[in-house]
């Protein structure tokens, strides 16, 4: 197994059908998916293989076509602290499309998995060439990030309430 992403190339039709299976792309027309499929990469990861590590330079996001991925953060107090387990049709790493910062967590394949990668330079070039579709992609990402942020806020509020009720904090 090679340790790099392959441009979708000969599997263009397969990549389009894979993208169609993601709820994220449910309202994309066939011609939009064909255009987007030209900028994605496909890669298989072995069970236990690191996809990226915390503090790596982030340049892309990943859609999980097959398998599952664990996201965790290194903690001085608890070692590796699991953040999330993601499965088929989930995605992660989207922050790197918006900024040029280091990764805030580590991603590891929990089983053999197939990821579809979208990288920032390719997406920026795509947005320049196809601004309407680029805006559609970015708006969809913004909606999902907003939902995730709201869930995190709700979880944090609930955790604070539990701590306050247990007399641990005031």
The predicted-structure confidence for 33-59, as pLDDT tens digits, reads as follows 999 999 999 999 999 999 999 999 998
Find tokens 């993208």 and name the residue. 19
- Single pTM value for the model: 0.81
- What residues are paired with 75 via a beta bridge? 79
Query: What sign for the dihedral angle of Cα 7, 10, 13, 15?
Result: negative
CA dihedral 153, 141, 94, 126 (to 10 degrees): -160
- Rounded to whole angstroms, the Cα distance separating 109 from 113 reads 7
**pLDDT tens digits for range 106-146:** 999 999 999 999 999 999 999 999 999 999 998 988 888 89
For residue 50, which of 35, 80, 70, 79 has the smallest C-alpha distance? 70
Query: φ, ψ for residue 50 (rounded to 5)?
Result: -80, 130
For the beta sheet containing 79-86, the strands, ordered from the edge strand earlier in sequence to the opposite edge, are 50-52, 106-109, 69-75, 79-86
For residue 79, the number of C-alpha atoms closer than 13 Å in the C-beta half-sphere is: 0
Token pair recorded at residue 2? 């090679």
- Rounded to whole angstroms, the Cα distance separating 22 from 10 reads 21
pLDDT of residue 132: 92
CATH classification (class only), 6-164: mainly beta
């Amino acid at each position: 197994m090679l340790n790099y992403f392959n441009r979708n190339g000969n599997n263009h039709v397969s990549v389009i059908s894979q993208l169609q299976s993601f709820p994220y792309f449910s309202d994309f027309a066939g011609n939009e998916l064909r255009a987007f499929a030209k900028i994605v990469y496909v890669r298989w990861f072995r069970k236990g293989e690191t996809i990226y590590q915390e503090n790596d330079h982030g340049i892309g996001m990943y859609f999980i076509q097959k398998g599952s991925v664990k996201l965790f953060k290194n903690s001085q107090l608890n070692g590796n602290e699991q953040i999330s387990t993601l499965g088929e049709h989930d995605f992660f790493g989207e922050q790197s499309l918006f900024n040029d910062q280091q990764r805030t967590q580590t991603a590891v394949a929990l089983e053999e998995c197939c990821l579809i990668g979208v990288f920032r330079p390719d997406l920026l070039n795509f947005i320049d060439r196809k601004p309407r579709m680029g805006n559609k992609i970015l708006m969809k990402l913004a909606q999902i990030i907003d939902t995730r942020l709201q869930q995190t806020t709700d979880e944090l509020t609930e955790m604070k309430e539990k701590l306050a009720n247990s007399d641990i904090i005031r």
